[in-house]
Amino acid sequence: MSVQVMGLQEWLHTVNSENWHWYIKRLSGNDTGSTGTHQVGFYIPNDTVFYLFPTLDSKEIKNPDAFFQASVDSHQRPAHEVRAVYYNNRFTEEDKKKNRNEARITRWKSGDSDSPLQNASNTGSLILCAFEKEGSKKDSTLVKVWVCKDAKEEELLEEVVGRIYPGENLFSQSTDFSGGIPPLPDTGKIRNLKIPDLWKETFPTGVELVQYTFDLDKSLIKLPPDKRLVKRRELEFKLFRQIEDSHLLPKISSGFSSVEDFIKLANSVSNRRKSRGGRSLELHLEQIFKEEGFNKFSTQAVTEGKKKPDFLFPSEKDYHNPSFPEKHLRMLAVKTTCKDRWRQVINEANRIGCCHLFTLQEGVSENQFHEMQASGVTLVVPESYISKYPKSVQKQLITLESFIAELKDLYA
């Protein structure tokens, strides 16, 4: 079947064998070039690139590279030559000040001036790169890429590979995704973790996991709100992985008495992973609001009809009080990614003309940002994420800390 008439589901079957390895991530602003930095091409972790291109694993040769063929099948782009390069300046004495130690795949525009991978409008898009590789000592010679074009394609892909959040990447042999329980991104482990005895029998709820995270490292409360949120999210994911391993590994090792039993387990794992992400972010934000001494908000409040904004300020009662000034009402929507989902928040509270949207997405295009502005959406992002957005919009972004300060001033 030709690429022109092939859908994502059919395409996945063509790149699913022992010779294919999948690398999955969401494109950041630095990947697509929307930030205007000198970096060209998308980032790929060193361990991954060294596995795919063993010849690049060198600190003696300055910036070793490898050329191979690449096609973007989602957009019917024919194969052309691209470059995998390991920038190892950190280990080259004369270039120590440059301090680079990262790998990228570049030259996407060399055969396609309108490459989807270098198109700012695709910032935040979920992509799958299928590398063909024969033998552990040989470099990959071909990569086929699918850039999801809309939320429906992203949902279809995540049904196969699991949820992929901004900043995460997943690399594994394609056949690892065919067993019903896809691998998770590698996050490392929490040392000396003591899992409550009850959790060894019954998997904790999302609320229990997040609450336990707060107690795992109490020193994090000393960090500014933005850093605290990011660090705690990382810690929570490590906790989730270790608890999941403690549940899954014994069951997988002991085997299954029927196919139905395995399918039941796989479905339960999939559902648990899906339900963890979005609600988790809301719970982290709620905790930080309280830690910062701010308690004037309602969560999952009902506005008009069945609309339920994530956070309503100062309260649901005030929102429904006609005499309460509309200029003193605020709404915060929470979306881990916002590329195709930001429009969902526009009409969640009719009395609030300008709503705030907290996201972990690593950048948006200038056009999309201005479209959000015109629709009355103000982006709130962690302070460390601001550099991932176009320079022209960075000063118009709000950090979590500044958003909390604004609320405190409003309701003082």
Residue where the block lists tokens 């999948």: 22
The Cα–Cα gap between 181 and 262 comes to: 10
- Can 87 be counted among the known catalytic residues? no
Inter-residue contact 233 to 184 (CB < 8 Å): no
DSSP assignment of 12-54 equals HHHT-STTEEEEEEE--HHHHTTT--S--SEEE-HHHHHHH-G
Q: Which two tokens stand for residue 210?
A: 């997040």
**Among 294, 26, 52, 341, which residue's Cα sits nearest to residue 164?**
26
SS3 357: strand
Under 8 Å between Cβ of 84 and 53: yes
**Interhelix angle for 225-254 vs 400-410, to 10°?**
120
DSSP line for 265-332 = HHHHHHHHHHHHHHHHHHHHHHHHHHHTT----EES---STT---SEEES-HHHHT-TTS-GGG-EEE
CB 27 within 8 A of CB 124: yes
Q: Which residue in the list 87, 319, 385, 389 is annotated as catalytic?
A: 319
Whole-number Å distance between alpha carbons of 362 and 382 = 10
**Catalytic residue ranges:** 319
